[in-house]
Structure 1
């Protein structure tokens, strides 16, 4: 497809529409996978980012064509594109969430940044690069995600926060529950809970477990929750159905 009939700085209306539609379609393909996986930035967000990037690239290339022949004007088509790459980070930062030691949203943030690059490619007419990039992103998000989960299924970690009364033997009772199910404690932090005094003082135990099976974790949480010394228990690492059961 040619950029235009008269000059490299000209673009037909049909070519303009094709590029913008293609950008929306490619961004939507990646967005569907994120939407299917219930991530914060999904179908519409990826479409808007890709389409917006393509539009900015088109404006940078062809929006100032009337000034090209001016003797005192220098046209730099890469300036607006560079601002897209650096400025798209605010959306990625909004997709990253942290809950204790668990950080979520990094892959979605990376996909948003990559979608912006795809949009710039489509806007500049670099269709082959845009299509190859879209294909590789989909392979990475869908196929490699399954392979990664299978490869690292034995290296799963889970965080458990337990608020207990400051009684003698409370930590030993909780640790014994995990040991009975062969759950290895890889890290332990003990923090006092403000507001308590004397024997009524409470402690917050931050426990990180290694190589945790979901069913064993649910059983351990249920048993620990029935201990008299336990005031509150929170877990990071259970899916929705198992968390409801444990709660």
Structure 2
């Protein structure tokens, strides 16, 4: 019993009304069997003292990894009944919000990872939750952009929003502060955002760095007429590398698959890609 109490502290479960009963290793994940119980409260409707009734079906609550394995808490919550007005009530805990399934500690971890360069799907996989849960948490943040100013040097880039979907991000080149995070990278989405800035503000932008995504270039010239466009050298090298790779494959395919030339070109591809 003392050992289970120590595990409660280790998991940072601060609610004294949660009692851990057992921990089961399922091979792929761990399940913490627990119950939530406390003395019957007064009825919120009529004020009479309620009585303990039964326990709910276990709530499956995702939790932080333990010993490198995904973990979830199977929490059985006490139900109370008022025998004066028949009001039913379920025990509440600080572990999760009322009528919610995701614990506060997971929400804190999602918020922490959202400011890192990690995709939504990766965050969901790491925390054993759905991508939609991560997106809902992102939508909880309220960004208040300052439409009265823009930096002289701005960076445009894209990032993975969800699997298979790219989104747009704009940053201050000098201090890396985020100017805008948009759910899409289409011209319409980007144009609608930056048109919220006055033309005079947009004209103060002198340089925009970006990759070789052509819609960015055309749009930047329209929205920021005084800005010079600087292509990110990383993306230039990336495009050259891909072009070299295509030429290598074309030459390689001119030979028979079992020939010495074919095998040499395929095996030593890194030598061709080097400076």
TM-score interval, smaller chain: under 0.3
With the length of structure 1 as denominator, give the TM-score of the two structures: 0.26
Structure with greater proportional strand content: 2
Structure with greater proportional helix content: 1
With the length of structure 2 as denominator, give the TM-score of the two structures: 0.24
